[in-house]
Structure 1
């Protein structure tokens, strides 16, 4: 099975999607399942994981509603405030939602120490108790704190979104690799091969700009802990869906068929327990 492990849907609202800046005007509109499904079909991808892009329970409900209507939306990574005292009650409300496979918060917009607060760590433990995964949305400057979080929650499955957004446009990788390597030593930490084109030069990037980062990710995590994601529609500010898919498809052609299958879907299915 081939799976796009990371994409988004939204009904565009300039207040909710205030992170979409003027230079990202192409994605200032609605993006719904009818827009994505033909792209998945063309790439022979069987289904996707819909990931939150707004920090609200409304967003979680919105994605779960779409998943209920479309069987090819295989899972939802929703949002909840992990630090809230009533987190158990909130999670209880979603206990019957089989397609809710994990949670995420926009940690990249917060101080790195935010994720080390006692109440946040407590919330991660509650996710583990209920079998949910956790997506880490980070910048490189968050990686030290992320490692501390992982040490505090050693039994929690986590996946690093977008390779932690290395500075591809600047060609920087040495410090990023060193910090990613420490996280990769933890067997329950996975990594998404996604979001690279938006960290490169939007107008001038080439596959060769991305390959060094893919090679490092493969070296650190191996195919059993790597998963492909398009980051559609955010990727559209720099590349078409097909271009993003082609980069990873071409890169993984050097691997055995079983290794390629892991990255292109099997790892995601295993990680999200689908």
Structure 2
């Protein structure tokens, strides 16, 4: 079974979605399960995890409603304000929904030390009691603080999104590699192979551009803590769904069928309790 562990749905709003600027006009429109279902079927993908793209409970409710109505959605990683004093009540409410699997905050848009804030960490410490994951979305210069975060919460399941966004376009790897290897030492952290094509040269990437970054991820996390994600529709800025999927599948050609199955679906099922 293949599970796409990371993709988004939205009804385009020019105010809310201001991050979709002129350079991203190809995704400046609605993307809904009706658009995605045929894409998954044509690529032999069995289901997906819908991940928040907007920091609002309205977004979380929207994704949960879509999950109720569309069988392709196997889980939702939503947004809850982890800084609120009533965060425990909010998590208790959402955790009653069978599709609500975890929380994500767009930390890449925050200050470098955001993950070290007491109010943020007070929110993080509430997740484990509800069996919820936390997706870490950061830029490379925030990875060191991500390491400090996961060190403090050994019983919390964390998932690093998009490989920590390495500078693939600029072919930089040294500092990112060191931080990734340190982060992966914590067994409560997994990693999504997602969002790679948009970190490369959108117009002129090659499959081989990603090999050394994938080598680091698999050497560091191993096949039990890596999962496939498309980052659709954002991936469309640089590649079709099939093209981004082929990058990972080609890389896995020399792996055993058992290990391929872990990366392509079984790990997501286990980590997100699908």
**Who is 1:124 aligned against?**
124
Q: How far off its partner does 1:92 sit?
A: 2.5
Aligned 1:151-230 pairs, distance under 5 A? 151-230=151-230
Instruction: Please show how residues 11-160 of structure 1 align to structure 2 within 5 Å.
Output: 11-160=11-160
Q: Which runs of 5+ in 1 are unaligned?
A: none
> Match of 1:192, SS?
strand
Classify the secondary structure of the residue corresponding to 2:191: strand
Native 8 Å contact 1:121 1:152 kept in 2: no
CA distance in structure 1 between the aligned counterparts of 2:7 and 2:249, rounded to whole angstroms:
17
Runs of 4+ that moved beyond 6 A: none
Give the superposition deviation at 1:115: 1.2
Identify the residue that residue 263 of structure 2 maps to in structure 1: 263
- Residues of 2 paired with 1:96 and 1:157: CA distance? 19
Q: Unpaired segments of 5 or more residues in structure 2?
A: none
Counterpart of 2:273?
273
Structure 1 residues 183-230: Cα deviation after superposition (integer angstroms, max 9, x where no partner)? 100001000000000000000001011111111111111110000000
TM-score (norm 2): 0.99
Equivalent residues, number: 274
- Following the alignment from structure 2 to structure 1, what is the Cα–Cα distance between the partners of residues 153 and 83? 15
Question: For residues 111-165 of structure 1, what are the alpha-carbon distances to aligned partners after superposition, in whole Å with 9 as ceiling and x for unaligned?
Answer: 1211111111111110111100000001000001101111111111001000000
| C-alpha distance in 2 between matches for 1:23 and 1:168 | 19
Give the superposed CA RMSD.
0.7
